[in-house]
Amino acid sequence: MTDTMATLPDLVPPPVELPERVAALRSEVRAFLAEERAAGAWRPRADTWLSGWDERFTKELARRGWLGMTIPTEYGGHGRGALDRYVVTEELLAAGAPVAAHWVADRQIGPSLMRFGTEEQRQRFLPGIAAGEVYFGIGMSEPDSGSDLASVRSKADRVDGGWELTGTKVWTSGAHHAHAFFALVRTSPKDDTNRHAGLSQLIVDLKAPGVTIRPIPLLTGAHHFNEVVFDKVFIPDSMVLGEIGQGWHQVTSELAFERSGPERYLSTFPLVVALLGEIAGHDLDAGRRRDLGGLVSRYWTLRRMSLAIAGALEAGKAPELAAAVVKDLGTRFENEVIDAARLLVSIPPDPGGEQGGFARLLADAVLHAPGFTLRGGTNEILRGIVARGLGLR
Amino acid sequence: MSAESNTELREMAESVFGDAWDSSTDAFDAKLWESVEQTGLARLTLPEEAGGSGGTVSDAAAVLTAAGQFAARVPLVETDLLAAWLLHAAGIEVPSGPLSATVAGNLTIQPAAGGAGADVSGTLRRVPWGRAVGAVAVLAGEQVLLVDTTGAGVEEGVNLAEEPRDDLVLNELTVRHVAVVPSVAVVEFPLRAALGRALLLAGAARGAVAMAVRYATERVQFGRPIAKLQAIQQSLALAGAEVAAAAAATAAAAREVDRRGFAEASFAIAAAKARAGEAAGQVARITHQVHGAIGFTREHDLRLVTTRLWAWRDEDGSEAYWNDRVGARALEAGADGLWPLLTGTP
């Protein structure tokens, strides 16, 4: 090779094939979802992993062994692989099923407890997560700390037997229903030469004295977000996650789970299903058929990329870079889907429309869209990670 | 082959094609062709008993991506994925040397006056590398003709990357090898061409972004490498994601072919060619923008990959062509069938 030849790192691992073992699992999930829909238990919605809080449904999933799938059996889980979990989650999301109650706990809290938690913490939380009875939120952002997560100011001071926590977390989805969250906090003063030092993760009981939870209504008025204020909340030593001072490293690992799943490209998939319901049986001109095909080609590609990440997770890796790539592509695509769908048929969005119908799904999708490219790290932050992976910074 | 040997194959191919990088000519690279013959890459997927290497389509994917990345000036898709396959399927012995292949609809084919074979008249349009190959495998209906190019008139043409796309004029040319192929081959030909082209596209996209990343780390403006500017980082991250998408789609389509055959993988191939074509336009735009004026000149090598991106996205079916097919499949599947279509599990 001449010295002018440049090479590029592989940003996303090669595609994986799903193992044979998951085919039966997929059929079981589909049969269950069909039953639920036939019974009218819920109607498909967009962005259900934020807005579809349904504890009955969550417990039904748990009863079938579809929560805590990767958690070892000694902690009440099912000891299955990341690809088994992947199949279940993609089926639930594609169907627009109400998965919000267990989403955070099942996606990132379980794996983090397995990686960093003490035996006591695992025993305390994991069986409840797998049973669909213990729900978690995320305690990262603060009023003055969004993309610059290392600037968090919530502070825990050493006291006898534990830590005393003071500060505020924001944008915590479901905190008003959840039992606990991991708060990323400062446990030693900020060091400007090492901004990532001195951070720790504490497991905060959201019902504990000194914790106040206030709603932050979304632009629709709906209550999903919350502000969580800590006023001298006592956190016993037993509720420190991992090591004091290792919070940044731990939270980065947690983000690999938070960012890598199929929910990062499927939030608006139920809208496309409803769209097909509207246009099936009609003659579609070539231009619109191509637009529809363009969406489907991109869905197919994103799914292969998303599966590649699940394969890496199954192999025990933390594919932070690949997750950033797919989340950036996928969440932009979730928005593009809305525009394509609204231009393919002449049905205006209707927030009061029939649940599960195109007009209602379109309204939900449009009004939830700003969140897609913000939550779990803005796309600008993700591209910064990709740029680092490319060797630019 | 296993994933591991696939990595080895890819490294070998990158080394072979990287060594051949040369911006001083657009002509067929005879020396590179010798290398690919010697290393068994030239007839990679042809079965061993027919003189090939017996590799999988995923193996070919690794090789073709590398060929695209380094703008290799040899007809690999045409020789291996198309001509050798088609001739072998028709029971015609595969000749040595570089080959091309095409589908022709307007030939006059008559039994040869002198016995075996046929006398053929008509024009083969825009045959890839027509002037550089000894023979062209022509699919005319369900007939396969092995056309010796020495007997054809050549009207030279090129694509945007100045790759030969020549018209071959046949004037009562006697073609000795004529055979009939199963009708599935007629379906398979355009799918093979599209997948091959998509893999080359994925490679060229990768090559363009690799060059832009390198350029951004070397080019100093405002007192620092432009790679340090967030605007450049954000643009190249978008381009990098497009490269990853093209790579994932094309590699997955190749796997699908290995599992189910070309005809059954038609949906995957259509989606992959469309997605790779979409990536091509975005990658060419961003990498040129990052390079500034120098990339827009003949003296800079960026054009070797970006002109290929522009040429190949329209060859063997543009995004419009393949997305139309994907859209038709989605409509046919309907609301309940869309997710099963995407997951390949009814």
Nearest CA in chain B to A13: B248
The larger pLDDT score, comparing residue A4 to residue A77, is at A77
Does a structural domain hold residue B335? yes
> What pLDDT does B134 receive?
97
In contact, B118 and B174? CB cutoff 8 Å: yes
Q: Which two tokens stand for residue B74?
A: 């040899």
| Chain A: closest CA distance from residue B35 (Å) | 14
What is the torsion angle, in degrees rounded to the nearest 10, for the CA atoms of residue B314, residue B319, residue B321 and residue B324?
Answer: 180
Residues B315 and B230 placed together within one structural domain of the fold: yes
Alpha-carbon distance of A121 to A240, in angstroms, equals: 9
Among B155, B181, B207, the domain-final residue is B181
Whether B271 and B211 share a structural domain: yes
Q: Mean pLDDT for chain A?
A: 95
Best mutation target among A278, A284, A285, A290 (most B Cβ atoms within 10 Å) is A290
Residue type, B98: P
Q: Which residue of B has its CA nearest to A271?
A: B335
Residue at B338 is within a domain: yes
Q: Which pLDDT does position B116 carry in this prediction?
A: 83
Pairing, β B135-140 against β B99-103: parallel
**Nearest Cα to Cα of residue A305 among A9, A297, A136, B23:** A297
B190 shares a domain with B337:
yes
Question: What value does the mean pLDDT take over residues B248-274?
Answer: 97
Query: What value does the mean pLDDT take over residues A5-11?
Result: 85
Question: B64: distance to nearest CA of chain A, Å?
Answer: 15
> Does residue B27 form part of some domain?
yes
Question: Would you give the end-to-end CA distance of chain B in angstroms?
Answer: 28
Work out whether the CA dihedral B230, B234, B239, B244 comes out positive or negative. positive
pLDDT given at position B115:
75
* Distance separating alpha carbons of residues B346 and B338, to the nearest angstrom: 10
Cβ-contact A67, A111 below 8 angstroms: no
Q: Would you call B223 exposed, middle or buried from its count of C-beta atoms within 10 A (0-12, 13-18, 19+)?
A: exposed
Structure confidence at residue A6 (pLDDT): 73
Asked if A390 lies within 8 A of B234 by C-beta distance, the reply is: no
Structure tokens at B341: 């279509």
Q: Which of these ranges, A259-263, B81-85, B235-239, has the smallest mean pLDDT? A: A259-263
Task: State the average pLDDT over residues A96-104.
Answer: 98
Give percent of chain A with pLDDT exceeding 90.
92
Q: How many domains does the structure of chain B reveal? A: 3
Cα–Cα distance, A338 to A345 (Å, whole number): 11
- pLDDT band, residue A304 (cuts 50/70/90): very high
Contact A301 B248 (CB under 8 A): yes
B7-61 residue pLDDT tens: 899 999 999 999 999 989 989 999 999 999 999 999 999 999 999 999 999 999 9
Distance CA(B197)–CA(B199), nearest Å, equals 5
How would residue B320 be classed by pLDDT, with cut points 50, 70 and 90?
Answer: very high
Distance from CA of A41 to the nearest CA of B (A): 18
pLDDT digits (tens, 9 = 90+) for A341-383: 999 999 999 999 999 999 999 999 999 999 999 999 999 999 9
Nearest to A49 by CA among A354, A358, A383, A375: A375
Q: At residue B345, does pLDDT exceed 80?
A: yes
CB B187 within 8 A of CB B151: no
Give A1's contacts in chain B (Cβ within 8 Å): 14-15, 18-19, 21
Pair B212, B323 in one domain: yes
Same domain, B46 and B150: no
Q: Are residues B244 and B309 in the same domain?
A: yes
SS3 A99: coil
E strand or H helix at A307: helix A286-314
Which 51-90 residues of chain B touch chain A by CB within 8 A? 70
Beta-carbon separation of A289 and B328 below 8 A: yes
Cα–Cα dist B333/B342, whole Å? 10
Range of the domain at B50: 1-74
Q: Is B154 within a domain?
A: yes
Token pair recorded at residue B314: 């329209």
Q: Per-residue confidence at B1, pLDDT binned at 50, 70, 90?
A: very low
| Residue A4's pLDDT band (cuts 50, 70, 90) | low
Question: pLDDT at residue A197 above 60?
Answer: yes
Band (pLDDT 50/70/90 cuts) for residue B125 is very high
Residue A157 above 80 pLDDT? yes
Q: Would the CB atoms of A296 and B342 count as touching at under 8 Å?
A: yes
pLDDT band at A231 (very low <50, low <70, confident <90, very high): very high
If pLDDT is split at 50, 70 and 90, which confidence band does A14 have? confident
Q: What is the pLDDT of residue A1?
A: 45
Residue (of A171, A179, A44) closest to A105 by Cα position:
A179
Sign of the CA dihedral with A213 first, then A218, A221, and A224 last: negative
Q: What CATH number has the domain bearing residue B54?
A: 1.10.540.10
- From chain A, the residues in CB contact with B13 under 8 A are none
CB < 8 Å from A in window 227-256 of B: 227-228, 230, 232-234, 236-238, 240-241, 243-245, 247-249, 251-252, 255
Write B334-341 long-range contacts (CB < 8 A, 24+).
Answer: B334/A276, B334/A277, B334/A280, B335/A273, B335/A274, B335/A276, B335/A277, B335/A280, B338/A272, B338/A273, B338/A276, B338/A296, B339/A94, B339/A95, B339/A269, B339/A273, B341/A296, B341/B267
| Residue A151 phi, psi (nearest 5) | -90, 15
Q: Nearest residue on chain B to A282, judged by CA atoms?
A: B331
CATH code for the domain of B139: 2.40.110.10
B210/A8 CB distance under 8 A: yes
With a threshold of 0.90, tell me whether the complex ipTM lies above it.
Answer: yes
B240 in the same domain as B145: no
Nearest residue in chain A measured CA to CA from B14 = A1
Asked if B100 and B224 sit in the same domain, the reply is: no
CA nearest to A178, candidates A128, A222, A115: A128
Same domain for B311 and B197: yes
B64 and B101 co-located in one domain: no
Domains delineated in chain A: 22-134 (1.10.540.10), 138-246 (2.40.110.10), 260-390 (1.20.140.10)
Is B138 in contact with B170 (CB distance < 8 Å)? Answer: no
Beta-strand (E) ranges in A149-291? 155-159, 162-169, 180-186, 199-205, 211-216, 225-236, 240-241
Chain A within 8 Å of B289 (Cβ-Cβ)? no
| Contact between chains at A293 and B327 (C-beta distance less than 8 A) | yes
> Average pLDDT, stretch B171-198?
95
Which of A15, A17, A325 comes nearest B241 by C-beta?
A325
Please check whether residues B218 and B296 belong to one and the same domain. yes
Instruction: Give the number of other CB atoms < 10 A from CB of residue A160.
Output: 7
Indicate if B160 and B222 belong to the same structural domain: no
Q: In this structure, what token pair is assigned to residue B90?
A: 């028709």
pLDDT at A3 over 90: no
Q: How many angstroms separate the Cα of B284 from the Cα of each of B208, B209, B289, B306?
A: 7, 9, 9, 5
Tell me A106's DSSP state.
Answer: I
Last residue of a domain, one of B181, B213, B239: B181
Q: What are phi and psi of A352, to 5 degrees?
A: -100, 10
Angle subtended at Cα B190 by Cα B185 and Cα B196, rounded to the nearest 5 degrees = 110
pLDDT band (50, 70, 90) for residue B103? very high
B125 touching chain A per CB within 8 A: no
Q: Give the Cα separation of B256 and B249 in Å (integer).
A: 10
Contacts of B342 in chain A (CB under 8 A): 296, 299-300, 303
Asked if residue B14 belongs to a domain, the reply is: yes
Amino acid A283: pLDDT: 80
Residue B85 resides in a domain: no
Residues 6+ apart with CB under 8 A from A173: A50, A100, A104, A137, A138, A224, A225, A226
Which residue of chain B comes nearest to A20, CA vs CA?
B345
What are the pLDDT digits (tens) for A235-271?
Answer: 999 999 999 999 999 999 888 889 989 999 999 999 9
Model pLDDT, residue B4? 58
Q: Which of B162, B181, B200 is the last residue of a domain?
A: B181
B290 touches chain A (CB under 8 A): no
B88 falls within a domain:
no
- Quick check: B3 pLDDT over 60? no
A-chain residue closest to B254, CA distance: A15
Q: How confident is the model at residue A7 (pLDDT cuts 50, 70, 90)?
A: confident
